[in-house]
């Protein structure tokens, strides 16, 4: 059983990422990737699809407006950097809601949910989810060493090895690299889930640091370049265990 899909995303990087994700799933068939929601409306009038991957903020009309216009809706998976659209999306019977930057694992979970709804279960010829995740996103050493984050109206590619530390600022995070500081609308916990556990560690409610970037560790703070970041009591023990696992001596 093939599941047909349509991508509607105006940002080239985000659109290409979704296209690559679709290619990794054997039972997904991409009929078209549109950069303009009006083109998508015309396409859907003549070409029914099973699943619609739909960005929210686009020129001319929003993804929410597009949903309201469509008479016959496919299963809809919203893709956006802004969590405030979740409630309105679910009121319009959106099947799932993917918050950018989207990992392949999270993408695959949404696709599996669509498969369950469309056919009562995953297609018989498909591999188990765990195997697809392992083979397709290449968890081995050759996995992509970067993430994409929203910066204003564009997606910015950040190499994981360039990240010194991440600072949480309520609904935003500030990602510090040697070259720039990028502020993006995202919860710190959400970004933490995307970072490799053997490379990054939480030391405070407001800070995640890169192991490679640490210059020195003091009793109550970590030094990264000119920055001194606090180690909170909440994370002191897990930070100590992280350091011990990575064979670094000294008391924390």
pLDDT at 62 over 90: no
- Report, as an integer, the average pLDDT of 186-191: 88
Nearest to 227 by CA among 165, 169, 173: 165
Residue of higher predicted confidence among 119 and 189: 189
In the chain, what percentage of residues exceed pLDDT 70? 83
pLDDT at 88 over 60: no
Distance CA(235)–CA(45), nearest Å, equals 54
Tell me the CB-side half-sphere exposure of residue 26, using CA atoms within 13 A: 14
As for how many domains the chain has, the answer is: 2
Whether 132 is covered by a domain: the verdict is yes
Report how far Cα 74 is from the mean position of its chain's Cα atoms. Answer: 23
For the chain, give me the number of helices (H) and strands (E)? 8, 15
Same domain, 45 and 109: yes
Nearest to 202 by CA among 188, 212, 216: 188
Same domain, 207 and 117: no
pLDDT at 118 over 70: yes
pLDDT of residue 247: 56
Q: Which of 118, 136, 154 is the last residue of a domain?
A: 136
Residue with tokens 């509607």: 8
178-184, Cβ contacts within 8 angstroms, sequence gap of 24 or more: 182/149, 182/151, 182/156, 182/158, 183/151, 184/81, 184/149, 184/150, 184/151, 184/156
pLDDT at 27 over 80: yes
Q: Which of 112, 136, 160 is the last residue of a domain?
A: 136
The pLDDT confidence band at residue 82, using thresholds 50, 70 and 90, is low
pLDDT of residue 92: 65
Report how far Cα 238 is from the mean position of its chain's Cα atoms. Answer: 25
pLDDT of residue 137: 38
Residue of higher predicted confidence among 144 and 69: 69
- pLDDT 10s digits, 200-226: 999 999 999 999 999 999 889 999 999
Same domain, 76 and 11: yes
Distance CA(40)–CA(152), nearest Å, equals 24
**What CATH code is carried by the domain that includes residue 52?**
3.40.50.2300
- pLDDT 10s digits, 124-148: 343 444 343 333 334 334 445 788 8
Tell me the CB-side half-sphere exposure of residue 177, using CA atoms within 13 A: 14
Same domain, 107 and 201: no
Whether 252 is covered by a domain: the verdict is no
The pLDDT confidence band at residue 33, using thresholds 50, 70 and 90, is very high
Q: Which domain holds residue 24?
A: 3-136
Distance CA(109)–CA(129), nearest Å, equals 8
Residue of higher predicted confidence among 94 and 33: 33
**What CATH code is carried by the domain that includes residue 224?**
2.40.50.1020
Whether 238 is covered by a domain: the verdict is yes
Distance CA(201)–CA(204), nearest Å, equals 9
Q: Which of 113, 136, 159 is the last residue of a domain?
A: 136
- Report, as an integer, the average pLDDT of 60-87: 78
């Amino acid at each position: 059983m093939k599941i047909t899909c349509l991508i509607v995303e105006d940002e080239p990087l985000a659109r290409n990422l979704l296209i690559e994700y679709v290619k990794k799933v054997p039972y997904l068939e991409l009929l078209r990737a549109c950069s303009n929601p009006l083109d998508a409306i015309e396409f859907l009038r003549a070409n029914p699809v099973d699943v619609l991957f739909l960005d929210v903020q686009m020129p001319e009309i929003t993804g929410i407006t597009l949903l309201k216009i469509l008479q016959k809706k496919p299963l809809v998976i919203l893709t956006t950097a802004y969590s405030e659209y979740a409630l309105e999306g679910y009121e319009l019977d959106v099947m799932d809601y993917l918050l950018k930057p989207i990992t392949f694992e999270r993408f695959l979970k949404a696709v599996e949910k669509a498969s369950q709804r469309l056919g009562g279960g995953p297609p018989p010829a498909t591999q188990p989810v765990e195997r697809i995740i392992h083979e397709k996103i290449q968890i081995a050493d050759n996995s992509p060493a970067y993430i994409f984050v929203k910066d204003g109206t564009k997606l910015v590619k950040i190499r994981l090895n360039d990240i010194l530390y991440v600072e949480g600022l309520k609904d935003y995070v500030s990602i510090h690299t040697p070259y720039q500081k990028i502020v993006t609308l995202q919860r710190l916990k959400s970004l933490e889930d995307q970072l490799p556990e053997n490379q990054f560690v939480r030391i405070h409610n407001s800070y995640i640091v890169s192991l490679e970037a640490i210059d020195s560790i003091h009793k109550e703070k970590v030094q990264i370049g000119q920055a001194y970041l606090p180690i909170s009591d909440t994370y002191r023990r897990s930070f100590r265990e992280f350091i011990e696992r990575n064979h670094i001596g000294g008391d924390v």
